[in-house]
Amino acid sequence: MLAIRNLSKTYANGVHALKGISLDIPNGMFGLLGPNGAGKSTLMRTIATLQDPDSGSIHLDDLDILADKQSARRTLGYLPQEFGVYPKVTAEVMLDHFAMLKGVVDKKERKALVEALLRQVNLWEKRYFRLGTFSGGMRQRFGIAQALIGAPRLIIVDEPTAGLDPEERNRFLNLLAEVGEKVVVILSTHIVDDVTDLCPRMAIIAQGELRLVGEPLEAIRSLAGRVWRKTAAKEELATLREQHNLLSTRLVGGQPVVHILSDHSPGDGFALVAPNLEDVYFGELRRAATPVAQAA
Amino acid sequence: MLARILAFERRLILNSPLFWIVALVFGGFGFAMMASDNVSFGGGIGNVHRNAPLVVINLLAAFSFLSPLLVTIFIAGAALRDFEQNTAEQFFTTPMRKRDYLLGRFGGGFIAACGVMVVCALGLFLGSKMPWLDQSRLGATPLGAYLWSFAILVVPNLLFLAALVFALATLTRSMLYTYLGVIGFVVLNVVAGNMTSNLDARWIGALADPFGSDALGDITRYWSSNDMNTRLPSLSGLLLANRALWLAAAGLLLIAAFRLFRSDREGLRWSRRKKVAAAAVTVEAGPTNSRIALPEIVLQDSPAAHWRQFLHQTRFELRGVLTGAPFLVMLLLGLLVMFTVLTFSGEIVGTKVLPVTSHMDTVLRGGLGLFLTLVLAVYAGELVWRERSLRIAEVADACAAPNWVALAAKYVTLVAVIAVFCVAGVLFCIGYQLAHGYTNIQPGLYVKIALLTALPFMITAALFMFLQTISENKFFGYLLIVIFIVARAGLPIAGYNHPLYNYGTGIPVPLSDMNGFGHFLLPALTFRAYWGALAIALLVLASAFWHRGTALTFRERLRLARARLARSSGRFVLAGSLVAFVALGVWIFYNTNIRNEYLSEDASKERRAEFEKANRPLKDEPQPRITAIKTDVDIFPTDLRVVVRGHYRLENRTQLPITQFIVDLDRDIVVRRLDFAAHSAARIDRANSFTIYKLEQPMAPGAQMDFDFELEIAERGFSATGVDSAIAYNGTFLNNIGVLPQFGYQQGRQLSDRNDRRKYGLPDIPRMAPIDDMAARANTYISSDADWIDFETTISTSPDQIALSPGYLEKEWTADVPGQGMRRFFHYKTDTKIVPFVSWLSARWAVKKDRWNDIAIEVYYDPQHPYNVDRMIAAVKKSLDYYTKNFSPYQFRQVRILEFPNFHGSFAQSFANTIPYSEAVGFIADLRNKDDIDYVFYITAHEVAHQWWAHQVIGGNVQGATMLSESLAQYSALMVMEHEFGATQMRKFLKYELDNYLRSRATERVKEQPLALNENQQYIHYRKASVVLYALKDYLGEDVVNATLAAFIKAKAFQPPPYTTSYELLDQLRAQSDPKWKPLIADLFDKITFFDDRVTSATAKKRDDGKYDVAISLHAEKKYTDGTGRETPGSVDIPIDIGVFARSADGKEANEKILFLDKRSVADGDSTITLTVDAEPYEVGIDPYNKLVDRNSEDNRKKVTLN
């Protein structure tokens, strides 16, 4: 279990990226949802030993990640948000290189490992291709392969599905779900569906603070009977935003469709809908900064 | 649209700290160049104002050499920015026109680079306004020169470079290829610069240099001080051609960049790569994964594992760097630089040297210098930032390998780059040697050379890694690196020349074929170790500062680095290397500043000034004359020690009693014993090597006295400027002025540069006494305390060496000396009185002996250098032949030539019957091409001629003295050469002499003198004299000149003081020649005369009788200049050669047929001449063989137009 306690970070430019975050993350997929700039990447990088917090602690079971980075790095798999490659190096050579850097110094072991990993992510056929020629999805799968080197107990994946087409995204998420059963996998994303589909547990982070920690289904259930939908005219939107707790507005066939949160019927064309995680997410974001809701 | 983009760019630039930092650095450099009194760069010396127009132009041209940095920062940055920052798509999806986008990006960077140069010029301008500057060294502010520099040099250079870089950056989208283009640009400049030393290839260099500096040099090659102070170069000739060429190239590059630019993500794709990319797309991603069990593995984190990670990463980095096309191209460029250096360096008057290993060494260690430094700078930046720029860093940083693994792997990669260059360089040199038929390959020596070449680069590379690591981004790192490179070169120019504080520098390690690296090696390695220790410390620090994880502020990084050091074992390495650094530094300081004296240039000048102020009144103090020198000299080559037991016979030849002896003896020589009449030391000034002894009994006029001394010259470690080289393992060379006591105040110790004298409050004194100064004529120009002396010496040396000194060998023996082992002794003695200038040499020589009549000829040479010994012997014979026939008998029974190692200098020097001759000149000349000038023959003839001109007749210590020795030796050698090789070779040789004279005038520090009044000015008494005396002979006839010289010798040889003068020779000349030559003699010797002769048109018409009428339009003009180059018109009052030539069958000028050649009186200015010749004329000329001093000798001939 990954235990984060009172993690705070303020950047030199004054941005308060993390405000005393405390969080327990058990084995399995854990979704970290939040808008851009919420502090997700800061949190991810801090857990990945790439950045020091101003205060707080992170423990993976008995391992103090911040104090013993070297050991932490051996238990860690990290797929960063921006993941580049040496364009002229082949997949096999590159993976071999990362394996070496992680500490798989035995040549035979490394060779076997690289092969298994490439097969697992379905890149074995393409092992002699230069990484520069890979598509976005192939590159992300390669990213997962390198994150799996050395049987990590903690895998951090930062915005992995951004920019993937739906098919590539499915493939990628399946892969992630399989490896993520016995270890801690933190999936940071702003795509709500990723979390709904994969994660038994999740947290929502905004403005450096946790807004919600719990199980997605439980969180959705807490909104049952409270989310209302209406297809509105464009002119109405301002009024609706003023009068109601507006969760989201989206265009369906060119017409704005709004979701609002309300304990009783707001009447006038609103229909009750089954809540989804997106409603939870937007609900949390709209709420004034209040203590973390424990929905589990 | 375009205007908006440009405005956007301008805002970006002005808001960019980088722009301001770079601008301030450049402005600062500019300011320092002008405002610092110590810096003399750009030519502002002597009479040339510090802010003279040409100085300003030269300085801005020099800064223009830094413009590659500017364009890489501003243009490559701008061109690649949209790709690096992924904003390209945003830009390309806006409805912006391609032209606007490209021109905007290009224009922005270009304006920024120009802006920096403007700030730099502003710095120069402000610098010249500083109140502390010596106002008499400043002229009016040359605004025109600033404008000229920008219009002709700075802006076009930036434009071309910018176009190049922009084209490369937009087409390849690769920083590395872009840098490569910039380096290629620099290489072109270096290659072009190397060509300018060869008179025939000069124009190619001037055209090919993309900076235009060689072309500028060509235009201003013969400028006088006055020209530099007043004129702006004209945009014509080679400069115009050069500028047009490179501007056109810039235009083409821009068009290419524009045409080939593609606004999609991929950039320019070459067809081959397109196929590969297409193939990748066709491979489908395949079905979703299958479950594969990962093998059990163990992650290791032991030192052994780290070591293997290091090896692995090194291999990985090496593959990335060494297999890249850019590296290969850089290597080829490096070899190209070496090739041009090999081809052109070491040339003397156009004749090449044999590719001996010592020459290869100068090429390897000198030729790679700046080039490899730039390559390392580029790769240091690329390697340190490689993961970050490819966005791989986060993954790599989260891996468990420790910091030092990446750093060390990258450093080792840089070392490998150095190694590849060194090995390729060595192989290239060996190949060059073999290709030129030189088979004495010395692999062991090459290993040493390669290591000595590599070490400084390794030390520099460590600093580059460090600078890049502590920088926040790559460009800031590059900026620090450039500042370092400029500072390292600039510190010595600014007078801060101690290697102890100039990173990576040291003292010279000359390689001599005779002596190997000898005793120079260890001290030089000490400096390498000293900086090497610091380099290691810097690498440890770099690993503490290593970028890992998210970018931090510098303060955070400092804290982090401290924390990292505190817990890593690197701190022990750091401490160890710093201890070694300090310890070696103390050892070096002990050597340079305690065992030896270190004086900055300033301090040394100040000391000389103080010395002069205190002691100049003593210059007329009566002093004794040395009438005989007898010495026992023990040379211990392996101990680098010499003991001298000497005896002088002194005589008071003045009319006054002598009460005190002023003794001048090099401060580093230990006086073990000094034994002469009862005396006491009245003043000891060790710093100035100056002691005054008071005699208890004054020495009466006419009295004689013995003066005995025992001196020891011993190795004293090394100084800041190098290791004392007089005594060497093989090739010791000492002379009496250097090691024996001299009497009297030595005027040679005074400051001579006028500006220096003013700065230190000394009155202006003439550089040499005026020619009518009878008191000064009491001495010759080489000695102030002796006339003609008796000389006798016994030299001992180690048994494997021969020791030599002027005089005849009386006896040679070997003996076992207690405490010294086996020693070889030589006893030499002269039987006639000689000039008081003697030397002692010792080396392992081979000997070749010959005879000319009853004169013994001996050449003592290094067994590796037998090549030209026979040429030297032939030259000695021909010289003796000519000189005895035309001047006077030879006063000795032998002529000996002794080879000495190159570190003593590149000269030959004539002592009585003994001629030490540097291995660097003559012994290794490549004379296999018979068309080349045989300068071995020439130098030998010149030195033999000194046995007459200096050793029979020697001038008094007044103006014009060296005309009687150097100029007449030049004349004598020319005559021997002309008889040996014919007039064609002479013309070739004189072309170099004339060029050298005209070029050197600009470096004059005081004022140019006419030949007869020259003040030991080499460019006059050698170079101009060759031209002048050859012309004299041409006009008066060889017999008249020689008869004059013979009569002069007869009158003046071996004369007692007062010694003769150049005027006495000229009087003789006027007396013995036709009075009609008086104006000519005045023009040649008494004035500084220039001719401007040219053919303006030439036509010919065939007559009915088959002959041709040739009509020639001429322009003839004569000008006189004063010492600074101010011109006054003269009138052409001497006849000038007019020639008509037919083309030779092979088209070579050397074989042309002379149809008409005669001296004709020509009118001032334009005139016409009509001649009739027998065959079809090809060319006509006025002074067609360039016998007169003419600054443009190319226009003396013109092709004939047939009507």
pLDDT for the residue numbered B110: 84
pLDDT for the residue numbered B1: 61
Nearest chain B residue to A107 by CA: give it: B308
Tokens found for residue B840:
């002692």
3-state DSSP assignment of residue A85: coil
Among A90, A101, A165, most B C-beta atoms within 10 A, so best to mutate, is: A101
* pLDDT tens-digit series, residues B811-861: 999 999 998 999 999 999 999 999 999 999 999 999 999 999 999 999 999
Cα–Cα dist B641/B668, whole Å: 12
pLDDT of B1150 > 80? The answer is no
- Report, as an integer, the average pLDDT of B544-565: 86
* pLDDT tens-digit series, residues B961-1017: 999 999 999 999 999 999 999 888 888 899 899 999 998 988 888 889 999 999 999
Cα–Cα dist A156/B357, whole Å: 61
Q: Give me the residues of A, 81-110, that contact B with CB < 8 A.
A: 82-87, 89, 97-98, 100-106, 109-110
- Report, as an integer, the average pLDDT of A237-266: 83
* pLDDT tens-digit series, residues B700-720: 999 999 999 999 999 888 999
Contact B531, B501 (CB under 8 A): no
Interchain CB contact of A155 with B (< 8 Å): no
pLDDT for the residue numbered B90: 47
| Distance between B396 CA and the closest CA of chain A, angstroms | 7
Nearest by Cα to B805 from B756, B843, B764: B843
Select the residue of A83, A103, A151 nearest B400 (Cβ to Cβ): A103
Backbone phi, then psi, for B695, in 5-degree steps? -85, 135
* pLDDT tens-digit series, residues B304-334: 999 999 999 999 999 988 887 788 888 888 8
> Which residues have C-beta within 8 Å of that of residue B793, sequence separation ≥ 6?
B629, B630, B631, B632, B633, B805, B807, B827, B828, B829, B838, B840
Give B280's contacts in chain A (Cβ within 8 Å).
Answer: 129-130, 133-134
Interchain CB contact of A292 with B (< 8 Å): no
Give A97's contacts in chain B (Cβ within 8 Å).
Answer: 312-313, 316
pLDDT for the residue numbered B40: 62
Tokens found for residue B418:
């150095």
8 Å CB contact of B394 and A109: no
pLDDT of A254 > 90? The answer is no
Give the burial string for A210-231 (b: 16+ CB within 10 Å, else e): bbbbbebeebbebbeebbbbbe
* pLDDT tens-digit series, residues A82-121: 778 888 889 999 999 999 999 898 899 999 999 999 988 8
Question: Can you give the three-state secondary structure of B854-884, one letter per residue?
Answer: CEEEEEEECCCCCCCHHHHHHHHHHHHHHHH
Interchain CB contacts (distance < 8 Å): A and B: 158
3-state DSSP assignment of residue A208: coil
What pTM value is reported for the model?
Answer: 0.85
**Residue B296 C-alpha from the chain's centroid:** 66
**Residue B82 C-alpha from the chain's centroid:** 45
pLDDT for the residue numbered B483: 87
Tokens found for residue B345:
């360096």
* Mean residue pLDDT across chain B: 88
Give A171's contacts in chain B (Cβ within 8 Å).
Answer: 285, 288-289
- Report, as an integer, the average pLDDT of B470-490: 87
Q: What type of residue sits at position B595?
A: R
pLDDT for the residue numbered B6: 72
Provide ipTM, 2 decimals: 0.88
pLDDT for the residue numbered A294: 45
pLDDT for the residue numbered B955: 95
Cα–Cα dist A238/B481, whole Å: 58
Q: B1021 pLDDT band (50/70/90 cuts)? A: very high
pLDDT for the residue numbered A139: 86
Q: Is B982 exposed, middle or buried (0-12, 13-18, 19+ CB in 10 A)?
A: exposed
Q: B1094 pLDDT band (50/70/90 cuts)? A: very high
Give the burial string for B321-357 (b: 16+ CB within 10 Å, else e): beebebbebbbebbbbbbbbbbbbbbbbbbbbbbbbb
Tokens found for residue B226:
């006055």
| Distance between B123 CA and the closest CA of chain A, angstroms | 35
8 Å CB contact of A116 and B295: yes
* pLDDT tens-digit series, residues B636-679: 999 999 999 999 999 999 999 999 999 999 888 999 999 999 99
Give A137's contacts in chain B (Cβ within 8 Å).
Answer: 285
Q: B270 pLDDT band (50/70/90 cuts)? A: very low
* pLDDT tens-digit series, residues B328-351: 888 888 888 888 888 777 788 888
Select the residue of B313, B398, B401 nearest A48 (Cβ to Cβ): B398
Share above pLDDT 90 across residues of chain B, in percent, rounded to a whole number:
58
Select the residue of B292, B305, B309 nearest A116 (Cβ to Cβ): B292
8 Å CB contact of A178 and B289: yes
- Report, as an integer, the average pLDDT of B454-473: 94
pLDDT of A296 > 60? The answer is no
pLDDT for the residue numbered B36: 74
Side-chain-side CA neighbours of B483 within 13 Å: the count stands at 16
Greater pLDDT, A219 or B876: B876
pLDDT for the residue numbered A114: 93
8 Å CB contact of A50 and B548: yes
pLDDT for the residue numbered B262: 62
pLDDT of B488 > 60? The answer is yes
- Report, as an integer, the average pLDDT of A192-208: 87
Q: Where are the beta strands (DSSP E) in B193-251?
A: none
Give B556's contacts in chain A (Cβ within 8 Å).
Answer: 12
Among B281, B299, B546, most A C-beta atoms within 10 A, so best to mutate, is: B299
Greater pLDDT, B752 or B98: B752
Share above pLDDT 70 across residues of chain B, in percent, rounded to a whole number:
95
* pLDDT tens-digit series, residues A49-73: 988 899 999 999 889 998 888 888 8
